[in-house]
Structure 1
Amino acid sequence: MNSSYKIGSIMGIPIKVHITFLFILPIFALVFATNPQPYGFANIGSTAMTYGLSLLTTILLFVCVLLHELGHSYIAKGYGVEIKDITLMLLGGVSSMEEIPREPSQEFKMAFAGPLVSLIIGFVLLGLNVVASAYVPSYSSTWLSLMVGILASINIILGIFNLIPAFPMDGGRLLRALLAKRMNYVQATHFAASFGKMFAFMMAVIGWFYNPWLILIAVFVFFSASEEDKSTTVTVSLENYKVSDVMSKDVISVEPEMTVEQLSHFMFENKHLGYPVIKGNSLKGIVTFTDIRNVLPHERYAVLVSDVMTKDVVTLPSSASAAEAFKVMTINNIGRILVMDGDNVTGILSRTDLMKSLMLLTE
């Protein structure tokens, strides 16, 4: 099931909305509608007007979040980083980048761009309210003034909050960039991630007594910091090795005419959960346990491998770096990659192969 839906493109970057965004949208609108001024629109007019202004403010708030992410993306694109997409979701926005620049000064500028955009938006809106109130006496009592004030306050808070040096928030990336000037990249990431997890724990404790939302944010920060720490360690450790160094050269293949029943027994006998599908000397696809597990038992005698295999095969040459293989697996959410040199399958590389190699390299 696709959990994100594209709604447009900006600067050539696909803009997506995650399904969780559709849940948070009415919740935010309800919060604005039930809170009194200056934090909401309760009792500002009719019920329709209250909820209409609340929904509009929520939408504009997420537009500001999008601009925050575009700030990151604009700087990143300037350094040649490919932006896969920007997704609006439950806890804000996420820019999906090919990779974070390793040069500390580049990462610093890229990380700072988002909070800077939020702070600029916040102070510009605050300034507009001050100027408008000075020249239009009745302006300060209008719904427009209230909406602009809410958006200004939230953007300023968002900008300041993101500067907290807790990985993986922007402040954590700023901290890593500063540390990376004095120590290696893995050590800098580990230190920043540890600080982020400590911050998440403190946030969860505060949230337990005052605001359950903080617990949700704390969980996100903790697991994101852990994942970033692990991913960076794996990537850096594998950078000096090629796919040919860690792949399995003894490739066991299956034919497209094999039935799913035969394949299930074949998997049990060979103790592998994925195989290239080859006819003659031609690669036709790849079939994994995931492809066959939804085939009903009584249908397995009639369904062929060619019916369930994945035809769009992700491949890499044996000369590619092992770090690139890990990145490709992560981006495509797959457990193995076929290694091809020219038209020949010369090996297969699984995530298990990479993890075993990493264990040996880090001992």
Structure 2
Amino acid sequence: MSTSIQIGRLMGIPIRLHITFLLILPVFAWIFASNTPMFGFADVMPVSLRYALALSTAILLFTCVLLHELGHSYIALKHGSKIQSITLFLFGGVSSMEEIPRNPKVEFKMAFAGPAVSLLIGTVLLIIYELFRPASLPSDPYLRLIWIIGYINITLFVFNIIPAFPMDGGRLLRSWLAGRMPYIKATQAAAGIGKMFAILMGIFGFLTAAIGGFWFILIAFFIYIGASEEEKSTAVNVILEGVKIKDIMSGDVKTVNSGMSVEELVEIMFRLKHMGYPVVDNGELNGIVTFTDVLKVPKEERKNVKVSQIMTKELITSKEDDDAVNALKLMATNNIGRVIVKDDKKITGIVSRTDILRAVQLLE
């Protein structure tokens, strides 16, 4: 089951809402409805207006997060990168990009574009508030909404330029370092700073746990994992530079036919020790079937169910001369474990995640 739903497209980019976003939105609305001025509307009457303002604030907040991500995406598109989607989830928004540009200047522009959007929105809204705000509190609730969104956007700007992955500041730092040292060393240095920052934030959260420091521990964990993943991902990409799929693929491809029963397929898997097979009928590739597909069929029914009923017909394929790192991206993007290698309609090989990781280990 998909964990996100698409609500539209902007600049040709699919905009999605993750299930965690749908869960957190009413929580944010309740927080704004419960807080007193200037961070909430607890004093606003009638109650219906209070919750309407609170829900509007929550929606506008995530709209600003979307605009932040669109800032990144606009610069990325302008420099030839492809954006597969933007997803709003529990902690904010994420742009799914095919590849981060290696050009330090381009990465700097792209990383700064998001925080710049937040800074612009926050500055404009706070200026509007200052121009129209009353002399004393409590202020007009509509002006208060403007102040809250403006203040949070300024906070987002400050938080995002912290020099730690996965925040934009980590990418800003890497782009600056990459102009002075090899890209992989720049990533390692930026990731190291991010991890150190996460550790310090975690310690602070632990010491202040009694007064709400738990959130600092959660954010610290998020930063540490993000820095580690960025470091690993960059290392793999650099190691695989120049490696072609034909260099690491398995040329001896075992295939099955669509009329075979799932029970027969399980016997082949047990004998050959492969977890996925192209489905070929009369020399034509019709799909791929994996152990994951087999698990969907109850054991007592496998004798009567055919491979054609469980195989995946929408194939993800590559060519022999494609870069190995592109195959890894295809697997990550489509959540699959192997890619079929084709030359026109003929299967020439198959490359799995295991093949790529083995190549990385050998090249290291």
Distance in 1, Cα, partners of 2:77 & 2:290: 36
* 2:343 partner amino acid: D
Paired residues, what number? 360
* Partners of 2:4 and 2:18 within 8 A in 1: yes
Secondary structure at 2:100 match in 1: coil
* Structure-1 residue corresponding to 2:32: 32
* Structure 2 portions without partners, runs of 5+: none
Runs of 4+ in 1 over 6 A off after TM superposition: 136-140
Equivalent of 2:233, from 231, 234, 251?
Answer: 231
TM-superposition CA deviations, 1:274-309 (whole Å, max 9, x none):
111111211111110001012111101011111111
Distance in 1, Cα, partners of 2:84 & 2:275: 29
* Partners of 1:132 and 1:139 within 8 A in 2: no
Is 2:302 the partner of 1:304? no
* Structure 1 portions without partners, runs of 5+: none
* Partners of 2:37 and 2:138 within 8 A in 1: no
Deviation of residue 233 (structure 1)?
1.1
* Structure-1 residue corresponding to 2:217: 215
Task: Rate the CA distance shift 1:269–1:186 in 2: closer, same or farther, 3 A.
Answer: same
* Structure-1 residue corresponding to 2:361: 359
* 2:33 partner amino acid: A
Secondary structure at 2:146 match in 1: helix
TM-superposition CA deviations, 1:307-344 (whole Å, max 9, x none):
11111111111011111111111111110011111211
* Structure-2 residue corresponding to 1:98: 98
Task: Rate the CA distance shift 1:58–1:169 in 2: closer, same or farther, 3 A.
Answer: same
* 2:2 partner amino acid: N
TM-superposition CA deviations, 1:139-161 (whole Å, max 9, x none):
97211121111111110010011
Distance in 2, Cα, partners of 1:102 & 1:169: 18
Is 2:197 the partner of 1:199? yes
Distance in 2, Cα, partners of 1:295 & 1:219: 38
TM-superposition CA deviations, 1:218-264 (whole Å, max 9, x none):
22222222222111111121121110000011111111111111111
Is 2:192 the partner of 1:190? no
Distance in 1, Cα, partners of 2:13 & 2:290: 32
* Structure-1 residue corresponding to 2:147: 149
* Structure-1 residue corresponding to 2:296: 294
* Partners of 1:196 and 1:225 within 8 A in 2: yes
* Partners of 1:235 and 1:326 within 8 A in 2: no
Give the TM-score of the pair, scaled to structure 2.
0.96
* Structure-2 residue corresponding to 1:163: 161
Distance in 2, Cα, partners of 1:137 & 1:181: 50
TM-superposition CA deviations, 1:3-61 (whole Å, max 9, x none):
11111111111111111001111111111111111111112223222222111111111
Distance in 1, Cα, partners of 2:361 & 2:346: 30
* Structure-2 residue corresponding to 1:255: 257
* Partners of 2:319 and 2:343 within 8 A in 1: yes
* Partners of 1:276 and 1:338 within 8 A in 2: yes
TM-superposition CA deviations, 1:114-171 (whole Å, max 9, x none):
11110111111111111223xx768972111211111111100100110000011000
* 1:83 partner amino acid: I
Distance in 1, Cα, partners of 2:170 & 2:61: 23
Distance in 1, Cα, partners of 2:254 & 2:13: 40
Secondary structure at 1:141 match in 2: coil
1:95-134 paired onto structure 2 within 5 Å: 95-133=95-133
1:79-90 paired onto structure 2 within 5 Å: 79-90=79-90
* Structure-2 residue corresponding to 1:172: 170
Distance in 2, Cα, partners of 1:199 & 1:137: 41
Equivalent of 1:343, from 333, 342, 345?
Answer: 345
Task: Rate the CA distance shift 1:263–1:225 in 2: closer, same or farther, 3 A.
Answer: same
* 2:179 partner amino acid: K
Distance in 2, Cα, partners of 1:18 & 1:214: 23
* Structure-1 residue corresponding to 2:268: 266
* Partners of 1:236 and 1:323 within 8 A in 2: no
* 1:102 partner amino acid: R
Secondary structure at 1:338 match in 2: strand
Deviation of residue 188 (structure 1)?
1.3
Kindly, what percent of the aligned residue pairs are identical?
A: 54
Give the TM-score of the pair, scaled to structure 1.
0.96
